Structure 1
Amino acid sequence: MPDDKTVERLVADATTAPSMHNAQPWRFRFLRDSGTLELRADPARAMPASDPSHRALHIGCGAALFNLRVAAAHAGRLRQVRLLPDHADPGLLALISLSDGPPEKTDADLERLYPAVHRRHTSRYPFSEQGLSDAQRALLTDAADREGAVLLFPATWHLELLLDLVEDAEGRDGVEPARDQDLARWARLGAAEADTATEGVPEYAFGPHKRGGRAPVRDFAGRRPVSDRGTTAFESHPNLALLGTADDRPADWLCAGQAMERVLLQATLDGLATSLTSHALEWSDLRELVRDPTSAVGFVQMVLRIGHGPHGPTTHRRPVREVLEFG
């Protein structure tokens, strides 16, 4: 069985994953007798207005699960992963076996992604107008496919529609007090709070205020002033990709989270900067319009912005002792 220190290191790697507003909606419990690690949802970190169905919560937990798989493969500890193993306990999202024994299946590329686990950071900075190469797109598409999801790069007409829908969602959010409350809860303003925060988005990671351009970047400052932030233009033709699944159930959301993180880690290894946007997906009527009706994607789960630009700063995570217990 792995010792406690090994489990703590694996969980620390898992928690570098992105989540909506960096709420980190996960909990872990290691069962020493069986060598099994439980991944559980933390509903106290949900977004009542922005994510009432907990779809984004599941996606964030799925991203943490993928990081855990990568870290466990790197440590030679990954044996078996079971999603949603108990219908009577929907908060139990996955069981990960770390005990000795042959793995259920092998994925040689998992360990290759490990260096990107701590290098991947969300970038809310402008990217260049340079597009992605065919080879880069192929690698990212394959990464999503390996996790049972689909990654599509929208055609010009679809990209323009998508950007219009994001702007529509931004406008709606601006007049919806409950959405602003979700945002304000996780925004960390002021140097003292931002430098010590272990959750949420600190002001040093907000990025500059967008003066022009159409890149979809959420403004965590809202109407709240941020000193020395600066203003600049973003790209006019951002490189966006749609991550989708065939169905839209909790298992599909976990699948999407793992696929999303695999794509982000692959992009990081390729030297690309990344960010995420779910703005247009947080409104049910807009989410239906995001999907390309001619594609094989049933439900869009996340919009990824990928390009050439500065990588974002590190945002802190909660100490492992706050998210991991032993039983």
Structure 2
Amino acid sequence: MRHTGHVTLNASEQLVVAAAAAAAPSVFNTQPWSFTFTEDGMEVHADPHDAWMPTASAARDVRLSCGAAVFNARASLARRGHGSRVSVLPDAGDPLLVARIAVTDAAPDPVLDELYRWVDSRRTNRYPFRPEGVPADVLALLHDAARREGATLRLLEAEPEYQRMLTSIRHATWTEDEDVREDRDARLSPRAEEPAIPVGNLGPVPRGGRPDDPPVRDMAVGLDLPGRGSAAFEPHPDLAVLETSDDDAGSWIAAGQALQRLLLEATGHGIAASFANQPLEDAELRPDVSGGAAHYGYPQMVLRLGYATEQPPASPRRPLSQVIRRTAA
């Protein structure tokens, strides 16, 4: 028997679902979202003001972040025993309304229920990884996780494609616009009231130099931040590109859901991830990320995957009172 009735979350459930959604990864840890609870579900809104950076990817990054929050909300609802139905960009007159999530009395998705286990332990890991690669069977699971949300995860393993990606990452890092660097430095400076990313989450300064910089993103390159230290990183990590067939706001939200699904799957198998999105933030360099495999679609994220040598702390989150707009009575 098919159930389609709506369910109203009680106050306790609303807080738990909002906390799970807010635990999603976001561009520069800006958490560019807010949540409204209604009688039949939840709305996820983009709140891009603090997240608006002087990069070509700013609008895309906000929607990707919100898509990851949508996925976490779905997983949390499944753990609470609820089904859910998502409507992406449901109001053409309100482009900041990313999604409506209807809570239903349908049976919860058991896979989402299982993935919820890893919401609180998922981290963006900017520490060195061990030299061994991710097993093929785990990579297949990550590929399937992305596919379930309408995206493709493409592992870069053949040459010269792998080296071309490294070149793109390094070139984007070295040629970063001054206003982008200044914006990032202001967000991370010890003089900031609350640095966007604490030192413990930035990881150590990569040792090495041109042209052998490792493909790990140093978010605080050029900043002297006490307590970071330095470390040698793995020279040949697994790199993968998350791609979608289209490149509009709906596709960016789908990419965010795909990203979070695969990240939770990876966490459950002991795999850590960080991002090397520098070339995606430059409109001229972004096409190089797909290179000869452009038929896969549009690149949305570049991931570095591997087994971590150290687990960073949880990144700070805004109080729920700042991200919940309204609760259902």
Q: Aligned with 1:306: secondary structure?
A: strand
The answer as to 2:17 corresponding to 1:10 is yes
Deviations 1:94-127 (A, max 9, x none): 00112x5336xx6321111011100001111111
8 A contact 1:274–1:311 mirrored in 2? no
Instruction: Give yes or no for contact 2:51–2:62 (8 Å, CA) kept in 1.
Output: yes
Spell out the pairing of 1:153-192 with structure 2 (5 A cutoff). 153-154=155-156, 155-173=158-176, 176-187=177-188, 189=190
Classify the secondary structure of the residue corresponding to 1:317. coil
Question: Given that residues 27 and 41 in structure 1 are in contact (C-alpha distance below 8 angstroms), is that contact kept between their aligned partners in structure 2?
Answer: yes
Matched position secondary structure for 1:300? strand
Structure 1 residue 140, shift from structure 2 partner: 0.7
Partner SS state of residue 138, structure 2: helix
Question: Which aligned pairs between 1:213-232 and structure 2 lie closer than 5 A?
Answer: 214-232=213-231
The 3-state SS of whatever aligns with 2:54 is coil
Q: Which stretch of the first structure deviates more once superposed, 202-211 or 315-324?
A: 202-211
Cα shift at 1:43: 2.1
Spell out the pairing of 1:36-115 with structure 2 (5 A cutoff): 36-51=41-56, 53-98=58-103, 100-102=104-106, 107-115=109-117
Provide the residue aligned with 2:29 in structure 1.
22
Equivalents in 1 of 2:214, 2:15: separation in Å? 37
Q: Between 160-169 and 302-311, report the one with greater CA deviation.
A: 302-311
CA RMSD of aligned residues (A): 1.9
8 Å CA contact retained: 1:123, 1:313: no
Q: Is 1:274 paired with 2:273?
A: yes
The residue number in structure 2 matching 1:139 is 141
Indicate the SS of the match to 1:82: strand
2:199 corresponds to 1:203: yes
| Residue of structure 2 equivalent to 1:116 | 118
**TM-score, normalised on structure 1?**
0.91
Moved more, 15-24 or 222-231: 222-231
Distance across 2 between alignment mates of 1:294 and 1:123: 27
Separation in 2 of the partners of 1:14 and 1:24?
A: 10
Measured at CA, do residues 182 and 216 of structure 1 come closer, stay the same or move farther in structure 2, by a change above 3 Å?
A: farther
- Alignment length (residue pairs): 315
| Separation in structure 1 between the aligned mates of residue 72 and residue 89 of structure 2, nearest angstrom | 18
What secondary structure, in the 3-state scheme, does the structure 2 residue paired with 1:288 have? helix
Structure 2: how far apart are the matches of 1:220 and 1:293? 28
Q: 1 CA distance for matches of 2:31 and 2:41?
A: 21
Tell me how far 1:36 sits from its aligned partner.
2.3
C-alpha distance in 1 between matches for 2:290 and 2:245:
12
Unmatched 5+ stretches in structure 2: 1-7
Equivalent-residue separation in structure 1 for 2:19 and 2:154 (angstroms): 31
Residue in 1 that maps onto 2:323: 323
| Offset from partner CA, 1:218-253 (integer Å, 9 cap, x none) | 223233211232111111111111100001000000
1:43 to 1:37, Cα distance in 2 relative to 1, 3 A: same
* Aligned match of 2:4: none
Is the Cα contact below 8 Å between 2:154 and 2:240 reproduced in 1? Answer: yes
2:257 — aligned with what? 258
Equivalent residues of 1:140, 1:151 under 8 A apart: yes
Bigger mean CA deviation after superposition, 131-140 or 290-299: 290-299
Which stretches in structure 1 are left out of the alignment for 5+ residues? none
Mapped contact 2:263–2:273 kept (Cα < 8 A): yes
TM-score (ref. length: structure 2): 0.90
Distance 1:53 1:74 in 2: 32
Distance in 1 (alpha carbons) for counterparts of 2:186 and 2:249: 25
Report the Cα distance in structure 2 between the residues aligned to 1:223 and 1:252, rounded to whole angstroms: 34
Secondary structure of the equivalent of 1:79? strand
What is the CA–CA distance in structure 2 between the aligned matches of 1:114 and 1:61, rounded to whole Å? Answer: 17
Report the alpha carbon displacement of residue 177 of structure 1 after superposing the two structures with TM.
2.2
- Identical amino acids, percent of aligned pairs: 37
Distance in 2 of aligned mates of 1:101 and 1:275: 36
SS at match of 2:274: strand
Provide the secondary structure at the position in 2 that maps to 1:54: helix
Q: Is contact 1:188-1:202 (8 Å) kept?
A: no
Partner in structure 2 of residue 237 of structure 1: 236
